[in-house]
Amino acid sequence: MKAAMLRSALRRRRSSSSAASTPSCLSRRRFSSSPAPERKVAILGAAGGIGQPISLLMKLNPLVSRLALYDIAGTPGVAADVSHVNTRAEVKGYAAEEQLGQALEGSDLVIIPAGVPRKPGMTRDDLFKINAGIVKSLSEAIAKYCPNALVNMISNPVNSTVPIAAEVFKSKGVYDEKKLFGVTTLDVVRAKTFYAGKAKVNVADVNVPVVGGHSGITILPLFSQATPKTNLSDEDIKALTKRTQDGGTEVVEAKAGKGSATLSMAYAGAIFADACLKGLNGVPDVVECSFVQSTVTELPFSRPSMLIFLVTGESEHVKLGKNGVEEVLGLGPLSDYEQQGLEALKTELKSSIEKGVAFVRGN
Ligand SMILES: NC(=O)C1=CN([C@@H]2O[C@H](COP(=O)(O)OP(=O)(O)OC[C@H]3O[C@@H](n4cnc5c(N)ncnc54)[C@H](O)[C@@H]3O)[C@@H](O)[C@H]2O)C=CC1
Ligand SMILES: O=C([O-])CC(=O)C(=O)O
């Protein structure tokens, strides 16, 4: 049933002319004379490698009327620079911790790329030590100043930072699982690019769902559901799966100590943020993959709160609506290879989620 709904939603999405699938900053709607509803977007970590280009992309998005750029270093320059772009959004920079409340107040959507990136030889989990604390304090501020906002979590390790935010929100009594998203769109972007290259099809026509989390084997691209259908061999599919799982490391190594993916991430983050804004504005059939709470797999809960993402925190296709996630569409039919991948990822994903939960609970 869910699989049929998913296929039909994806079909509708592919066949829709542009409303749901074309990022607003890339669509001709930016020349439209009737403005979309007022929407405030806050970016936390706006002066960083991802923060700067995603700030620009959100400034180009006609769905944004106010753009709040917050960082603990370098904000004034970025805010002044981006503010000169002649598009709808009014830009304000917020430079110090005491300004975080003002940056967040009234936000409809908060995008979080704050935190340290990987260097060669590190795993995403190695970032936990620093980024967990950053995400926890930013989540506390969101709970206080804009508890109803949608939150797009980019900071790594996403498999733990999303549970951290959820636990903080729960402890403040403001958790709404429909509004918290781990941004895994870059995995989808990569899977589409690599599939199109291997199958020699037009990348603009390609769709590949990616489920699971956002690290190594927890990233599970579903090439069996990729469109257009092609006749790639099992070996090709295995190689594409591995390359998608290792895509972040490919960039980290190429940057040789100067950080991780920033430009492709900003692009991916802007696509996902745009989908959230479209959902809020009531555009129908907006479907993306994201790391969200769901009950799609069968793992038993070891604690009631793990009900959250867990049953165990798969990333799903979600249909976005006025309140955030309108519907979790499920995994769809998996090949044997994908089913094995799904089983294999559960242990790591579960432990990353538990690590995030334990960090907030202090145990
Ligand atoms: N979800 C995904 O697919 C991806 C996630 N990432 C993650 O995104 C994060 C950011 O990466 P980059 O932009 O390359 O790093 P960066 O170091 O270039 O920028 C991070 C920014 O965060 C700021 N920051 C640090 N603590 C802060 C705080 N408490 N409040 C506000 N801002 C704060 C820094 O001043 C800096 O400007 C990393 O954790 C990285 O691993 C990166 C690529 C893809
Ligand atoms: O690999 C990293 O550290 C950054 C990231 O999450 C990605 O590029 O997918």
Q: Is the pLDDT of residue 207 over 80?
A: yes
Which amino acid residue places its CA nearest to atom 36 of ligand 1?
48
What contacts 24+ positions apart, CB below 8 Å, involve 89-93? 89/41, 89/58, 89/59, 89/61, 89/64, 89/65, 90/65, 90/66, 91/59, 91/67, 92/66, 92/67, 92/68, 93/46, 93/69
- Ligand 1 centroid, distance to 262 Cα (angstroms): 9
For residue 316, the model assigns a pLDDT of 55
CATH class of the region 40-183 = alpha beta
For residue 328, the model assigns a pLDDT of 78
For residue 279, the model assigns a pLDDT of 93
User: Does the CB atom of residue 118 touch ligand 2 within 6 A?
Assistant: yes
Q: Is the pLDDT of residue 26 over 90?
A: no
Work out the pLDDT band at 46, boundaries 50, 70, 90.
very high
CA proximity to 285, closest of 100, 11, 27: 11
Distance of alpha carbon 56 from alpha carbon 43, whole angstroms: 11
**Cα 139–Cα 144–Cα 145 angle in degrees, nearest 5:** 100
- Average pLDDT score, the chain: 87
Q: Is the pLDDT of residue 320 over 90?
A: no
**Which residue has better confidence, 132 or 309?**
132
Range scoring the smallest mean pLDDT among 137-141, 271-275, 293-297: 293-297
Work out the pLDDT band at 284, boundaries 50, 70, 90.
confident
Q: Nearest ligand, CA of residue 124?
A: 2
Ligand 1: residue of 135, 155, 181 to mutate (most ligand atoms within 8 A of CB) is: 155
Residues pairing with 315 in the sheet: 291
Distance of alpha carbon 203 from alpha carbon 158, whole angstroms: 27
What the block records as the tokens of 285 is 């059939």
What the block records as the tokens of 137 is 């304090």
Which amino acid residue places its CA nearest to atom 8 of ligand 2?
248
Range scoring the smallest mean pLDDT among 121-135, 172-186, 217-231, 294-308: 294-308
DSSP SS3 for 231: coil
CATH architecture of 185-352: Alpha-Beta Complex (3.90)
For residue 33, the model assigns a pLDDT of 52
CA distance readout (Å), 40 to 83, 104, 106, 245: 15, 9, 7, 33
For residue 293, the model assigns a pLDDT of 84
State which ligand 1 atom lies nearest to the alpha carbon of 153: 1
Q: Is the pLDDT of residue 30 over 80?
A: no
Segment 146-156 shows an average pLDDT of 97
Q: Is the pLDDT of residue 352 over 80?
A: yes
Range scoring the smallest mean pLDDT among 93-97, 172-176, 233-237, 313-317: 313-317
Q: Name the residue ranges covered by the structural domains of the chain.
A: 40-183, 185-352
Global pTM reads 0.91
H or E element in which residue 44 lies: strand 40-44
For residue 301, the model assigns a pLDDT of 25
Segment 119-132 shows an average pLDDT of 97
CA distance readout (Å), 192 to 23, 156, 203, 208: 16, 22, 7, 6
For residue 326, the model assigns a pLDDT of 79
For residue 3, the model assigns a pLDDT of 46
Q: Nearest ligand, CA of residue 134?
A: 1
Distance of alpha carbon 162 from alpha carbon 95, whole angstroms: 24
ipTM: 0.99
